[in-house]
Chain A
């Protein structure tokens, strides 16, 4: 069984993205072991001179390394992702670069109709940066609009069509993880390149 780490992209006490990740965790329990990671306790990134990751960041990095794949679920703030998620990615890229070559699947929920579409597009561009170099699953946008009304009292997605859409993407992701890991093992130079990446001299 695959082992996935899901990262909740917000520090808010109430989040429909949290409900979405909990649903994914439960719904696919027989296919994957999914842990939900909260980033709200992470300190704000401030480019420390010694480049060492704070304990919380290191904990996240270790979990990412142990996982076969990562699922990030993000709301949309101002056409982009929340600062706290950005800060998390900055820590990872600046210190241990744990996301390099890691298969990543994106989901998102928003209160409005657009379902975090712009946030996901920004997130893809960020994860594609040379300092992060995650392996984002292509052509797999999963958006939940009007997220406050999308779940029933048990946290289950009400719309059966949406569930089927999610099942398809999740199945794709399981294959994508296998294919990506084959590809990555065949080509280890990425890791070397990224390890040599420097924020100051590049």
Chain B
């Protein structure tokens, strides 16, 4: 696969290609020109940069409209720091289990990695469950999408975060299933799990930002 070709040292590529540039009298020098990251990992970092702009725009929109809602309920009326703290804790713990999955895979231990992936996915799903409960509770308190700018910005911002967690849950479950069935190239398993981990940690970090700035700051007097 071309991706593997790129990840290799250029001298090896040249040698594999039958080039011999040790003693053929070339004055010119072949220099190493790769970034030192596998394609898929570099792609994930670029994608996460793109995602930063995405969530930056959503969170920016929330603060652009903060305090401009013309009708209640307002954030202080609906937020329940206790409940959200529990779901936040669970999500943060899922980052720990994700890191353990990545580590297990690095030690070439697919069964352990699979188990930690399942635990991570379950923790993520629990977080999404909390969010569903939170949303229905807020609607019960009278905050709908169309109620006010607060309703619109809050639901869409946290909803898209929850959507990302859901995508992550599907991804990790699929990965665990594929590892279980042995359908993936064993040589590529560590990098596959690591890249899924990058995504998962990113989604967690976005939640830390939202929990801190949207929920906690609301209660600073």
Does chain A bind chain B? Answer: no
